Each structure stands twice: as structure tokens, then as C-alpha cells.
Amino acid sequence: MFARTGKPLTEAWGRAIALGLPQSLSLIGISLSTGCILVSVRVWFSEDYDLTIAAYGIASRLLTFAFLPLMGLNFACQSIVGNNYGAALYQRSNRTLVVGLLTGLCYGLIVQAVFVLAATPIAALFVDDPQTIAAAAHIVRIVTAAYVVVAPVMVLSGYFQAIGKALGAGVMSLGRTYLFNIPLIFSLPFLFGRQGIWMAAPTSDVAMLVLVAAVLWHHRAKTGARWGMFHREAVIA
């Protein structure tokens, strides 16, 4: 390998790890968030713990089902952006980003509307107990109160990963879980009671808007990209 390229085999390992690590840590963060929620539920819902856990189990499955199309959208955008950006076809990578953002925005609006308007009949597909159904619907409505923000942020994170900006991608993909969601799961109940556990998710989504704006501003200042996203010529790292 060294004889063919003139570079050691491990030359690109650091960059590959830097680009892949945020995605891995993001998936780990989902498990950590779930564990934190279970701990908080034990503390704040001690009297009806079993009912709340059952309701949260339904809510988490619904959220997982809604999240899977976002992963597909993100991976598709990453692949297209990466190929075109690498070939210096910036108009195509810019258009892909716009399509991804708009598609994600529309999908988030649909998911949020469905869960707000039809959370009760959807939860009733899993159990017959009225209290569990009501609790699951209540949880889903709160958790998805700002779901419209989730997809665009996810697409932007994938976009930065596709163009080789590991720091920006890492901040966007990890900030919600590690900077906002996990701390808020434990802190918001002290301000809003036990419902603060569910409020952590939409609060984190809104807080991510500020963090994303900061990343885009920094990227724009460093590269001159329009709005911190759209490139017209080669970017010097």
C-alpha cells in the first residue's frame, strides 16, 4: 500500500474515525437518553411506575418508527452530497441539501400533526387499558411538540459529515443528546414537575436551533459559504 500511494496505510484513519465517531456516539446517546428517562421515571412516577413505563414503551416504539424514515433520508442525502461535493459539483450538492431540508421539514410537520391529532387511537393499537392509552398519547404529544426541527437538523448534520467537516457534524449530531437532552431530563422535573421528563425532548430540539445557527455562522466565517451551507467554489479547510 505504501509503495503504491507513497503514504502509510494508516494515513487516513484519523479522519475516518473523526467522521464516523459522531454517528456512533449519536446512537449510543439514544440508549443513554432512554436509560436516563427510566431512572427519572422511577424517581418521579413512583406511585404509577408500571403504568408510566408501559406508556413510555409504546411512545418509544412510535418514535422509533417515525425516526427510521429520517435515517433513510439522511443517508440518501449524505451519499448524493458526498459524491457531488467530492467532484466539485457544488450546485448539485447544494440542491440536494435544499431538497433534503424541505423533505425533512414536511415529514416532521406530518409526523407532529399525526401524533398531536391521532396519538390516542394509535396508542390504542398496542393496549386496551384506557389509562395506559391516555398516558402514552400524553407522552407522545409532548415529546413531539417540536418534531418539525428534528429532520432539518439531522440532514444538516449528515451534510457536514458528507463534506468532511467532522467538527460541525459532531456538534450537530451530539449536541442535542449530550448538551441538552440528558441534563434536561434530570433538571426540568425540578421546575415543571414530573412532566418535565417529557418536556426535555422538545426543549432540546428548540435549543438545537441556536447551536446549529452557531455552527453555520462559524462555517460561513471560515469558508464564505452562503448561509454557512451553500458553496460556490472549492472550500479550503
Split at pLDDT 50, 70, 90, the class of 110 is: very high
**What pLDDT does 66 receive?**
93
Give the pLDDT confidence of 20-46 residue by residue, as tens digits.
Answer: 677 777 778 888 999 999 999 999 998
Nearest to 134 by CA among 40, 61, 55: 55
- CA angle in degrees (0–180, nearest 5) for 190-195-201: 95
- Count CB-CB contacts under 10 A for residue 7: 10
Residues 132-168 have pLDDT tens digits of 999 999 999 999 999 999 999 999 999 998 998 888 8
pLDDT tens string 207-231: 999 999 999 999 999 988 888 899 8
Written in H, E and C, the secondary structure of 117-184 is HHHHHHHCCCCCCHHHHHHHHHHHHHHCCCHHHHHHHHHHHHHHHHCCCHHHHHHHHHHHHHHHHHHH
Q: For the chain, how many residues are written?
A: 237
Nearest to residue 225, comparing CAs of 85, 119, 53?
85
For residue 226, the 8-state DSSP code is: B
Question: pTM for the whole thing?
Answer: 0.85
Angle at 124 between CA 118 and CA 128, to 5 degrees: 155
- Round the average pLDDT of the chain to a whole number and report it: 89
DSSP secondary structure code for residue 236 in this structure: P
Contacts of 219 (CB under 8 A, 6+ apart): 160, 165, 168, 225, 228, 229
